[in-house]
Structure 1
């Protein structure tokens, strides 16, 4: 177990460069096993989720190497084996191996996914999609068993009952080698889905409509990687540093940002009164803002991302008045609240609405990072607090934020990692 020790009361200044998108990476790596050639990615974030995915690849006889942001893997001698419980349980995105293995072999046995506990995240829409493609899905012995008949997978028209990023990606992975054409309606539109479709299309897939609510996939017999795929910048990491800089900075430049992916978040900062200079691929945050309270309501892309609901919370405590947060996607994403109260944060939750009040008596203490975004929200509050904050279970933060300690040190933050 790791702990993060943060000495508060310091102003952030300088530059920080955003890495590759975690939520793209955890879909792209399972997608790579569909290739009939070695695959190479760059701008891969150095996070624990990547290491866990590499362990899963190794169990399938898919060797991989990861150095300086470049990940290479070779699925040409892949073996279809039941996937291990340990690494599968460590991250929810491991369920993308369901769609990838189904597309590759016509069958898959995958343990139920783990990851952050932020409330119910059922996989019923994934299963609905697999069955529409001709698969038989059985849940037994804490695993999902997916098989197809002699005819394999076939194209189908699938309408999701709810917008689901995971289900959209999983069905896309299964359909990319299916016979015929698959149409996914009410599809998720996140940039990470576009990134995945770009990768697959560059290998010979025929996917149209990624980024809209209707995606059409014409199955192809083979996929071959000929170029290195560069992963898009992480919009959640970018938003997190923008929130840190707005709350406790005196001039921070956030680089390698696709600002179009952050429009709802940037608009909310402007509404609060944060002074920003939005450039082509960077955002400069000046200090010394007088902030006004706002209402944040999460929604599927292009709305305000649920993953930025917690990271913006410390900033809301600087506003002169009461702000509210309504997470329409994960209303139980509130594990940070009790910990923030222990630091003096004036925050509460009732009937699915989080109320954040102006908080001036913030003091460092020992708190627990229960999951990625809750942990980084506590880190943001620690930067604003008087004294020292110790965040235990810090490996949860490291799962989603590349080299966060080094990046914060580059912004003049006194922070270190130690074994708990």
Structure 2
């Protein structure tokens, strides 16, 4: 399929699913915003509990400013500044540094909330992309609705993300080991960082189309095991390296066009970005699906096993084998007919060597009559169908 046809097919697919796609995008964005804001507010309350003096920060009146109608609190002097007393240490506003438990508790709450936000956003992103793939797969052939946004294949996409995370961790460990091994050699350490950075850049640039499309291949081949589909995604990338680089070039051209529009008009660029961002995600899925369709059309359809079995077992296709002839006596290929003349003094035998059809295994084997014994009465040789024994000449 040409590049222009794939681009046109992607635009047609995007128009079919535009309304459900934007609707689910708003739903996921709203849920993520509410959850993140709730977590941040919880962290702020945790910090206010750990450091009570922070409660006065951000209020309308300073802690030392008298409020009309309300007498000042004990220990506070009017116009004494943001501290409890004019003789107090100014750093006391940030809490008692001697209270290590409160500091560690606040720090643990902050780190834990940050990790929860990362995990939640990660899971929400995986769920959204899985639903987008299922929505686009159906829109590739027909119009879709909101109910076609399904999470089938969610755990497979999580597995792919886990494999990529494992690769990143391994590369990070290799870099740390090399850095700590050469920490006392500044020149060697600098050379190691340069070589290590160049190696990662080269590998990423070479496998960038695979990184952008392998998850789509895994979701499109859910009938295969994860390991087989993962290896198949790499073989798919090697077969269609040029076409996948064409997709990457198309995305780069679209981004360049958006940046040019942003320089001309921010409003137009915002509207274009609202359309282009989901279209690029749909474009990747349509690109891979069209390549798979091309492979399916080039590969001949296999013969069904049931049809093949019925053809082999049919009586017309059955042929006798060597084992059949060895397992039991078979009738001869030619039938010899002996016709004796009744004229006295002269007997003439006429032998007909016309080939007849070989009986199948289902037909009974022909039996010899009493006038034609199976063995020669003189020498015991097997009767081959002749009127006289070919060995001793005895009439049979």
Normalised-by-shorter TM-score class: under 0.3
Tell me which protein shows more helix as a share of its residues. Answer: 2
Query: TM-score, normalized by length of structure 1?
Result: 0.19
Higher relative contact order (CA 8 A, sep 6+): 1
Q: Larger Rg: 1 or 2?
A: 2
Specify which structure has the higher proportion of strand. 1
TM-score (norm 2): 0.20
